[in-house]
Amino acid sequence: MKKNISLSKTYKYSQLGNCSKKTETIWIVLHGYGMLSEYFIKKFECISDDHTVIIAPEGSNRFYLANNYSRVGASWMTKLDKEIDIEENISFLNTLYNKIITEIGHKNFKLKTLGFSQGGPTLTRWIMSNTYPVDTLILWGSDIPKDTLLIDNILRWNTFNIKLVIGKKDEYIDRENKKRVINLINSYGIKYDLIEYDGNHKIIEEELVKIAAGI
């Protein structure tokens, strides 16, 4: 018989910039499968400035990436006990968000978010679970979980800017997958911008700068 027990847990995150009353923009960025926040956040140094705080939470499921145990990666969930992982991820992100808000000391800021690959569904589920004032959601090389596309969520979906960013050479999102995602979004009447770039399944800093400048 399989059973569960609940315990307290320590989560990791990485940060660029200092929280203060001068903070005008908060970015919450979620990494993809097999990545670590301390390396993922380096991708966002190109959009960091004195008025911006960038937060990169880290998935709590860690594992070795190579047979020689030399590299470690993290993920947000697997198909095993998926619902438990989703609930814990949402709780983690809520706690982290409120911690950052307390440190900033005001609510007059723009909240911009980006989910890369596996981080996209986790970020989307978090946003749909709350009413935080999201300005922009960027899904980069990512899918949208069907469980967030509910009739009750349509109004929430259309309260912030949505950017779908897909590399033309993305090895994980081929033409059929891209078509499926777009058709799914269109069927729910969600407004979004599709941005395609000449690259594969990774964040390109040059493209990130362009996108950030336009939102």
Structural tokens at position 164: 């779908």
Domain presence at residue 182: yes
Per-residue model confidence as pLDDT tens digits over 65-81: 988 788 999 999 988 88
Is the model's pLDDT at 3 over the cut of 90? no
Q: How many domains does the chain have?
A: 1
What is the domain-level CATH number for residue 56? 3.40.50.1820
Those residues whose C-beta lies under 8 Å from the C-beta of residue 106, and which sit 6 or more positions away, are 21, 23
CA dist., res. 4 & res. 144, Å (int) = 29
Position of tokens 């993290």? Answer: 74
Structural tokens at position 36: 């670590």
Per-residue model confidence as pLDDT tens digits over 10-49: 999 999 999 999 999 999 999 999 999 999 999 999 999 9
Supply the pLDDT for residue 67: 81
Domain presence at residue 5: no
Percentage of the chain modeled with pLDDT above 90: 80
Is residue 28 within 8 Å of residue 93, measured between CB atoms? yes
Is the model's pLDDT at 166 over the cut of 90? yes
Percentage of the chain modeled with pLDDT above 70: 100
For residue 115, how many other CB atoms are within 10 A of its CB?
Answer: 28
Domain presence at residue 6: no
Could you give the 3-state DSSP secondary structure of residue 25? strand
Per-residue model confidence as pLDDT tens digits over 83-123: 999 999 999 999 999 999 999 999 999 999 999 999 999 99
Structural tokens at position 98: 């409120």
Over residues 146-154, the mean pLDDT reads: 90
Confidence of residue 152 (pLDDT cuts 50, 70, 90): confident
Supply the pLDDT for residue 157: 94
Parent domain of 141 = 13-213
Mean pLDDT (the chain, rounded): 94
Q: What is the pTM of this model?
A: 0.95
Is the model's pLDDT at 2 over the cut of 90? no
Domain presence at residue 2: no
Over residues 172-176, the mean pLDDT reads: 88
Is the model's pLDDT at 8 over the cut of 90? no
Domain presence at residue 163: yes
Is residue 112 within 8 Å of residue 52, measured between CB atoms? no
C-alpha pair distances (Å), 155 with each of 90, 94, 172, 181, 196? 20, 21, 30, 19, 26
Domain presence at residue 1: no
Distance of CA 115 to the CA centre of its chain: 3
Domain presence at residue 64: yes
φ/ψ region of 166 (left if φ > 0, alpha if ψ in -120 to 50, else beta) reads beta
Q: According to DSSP H, which parts of 58-166 are helical?
A: 82-104, 119-128, 154-157
Q: According to DSSP H, which parts of the chain are helical?
A: 37-40, 82-104, 119-128, 154-157, 175-187, 205-213
Structural tokens at position 37: 């926040």
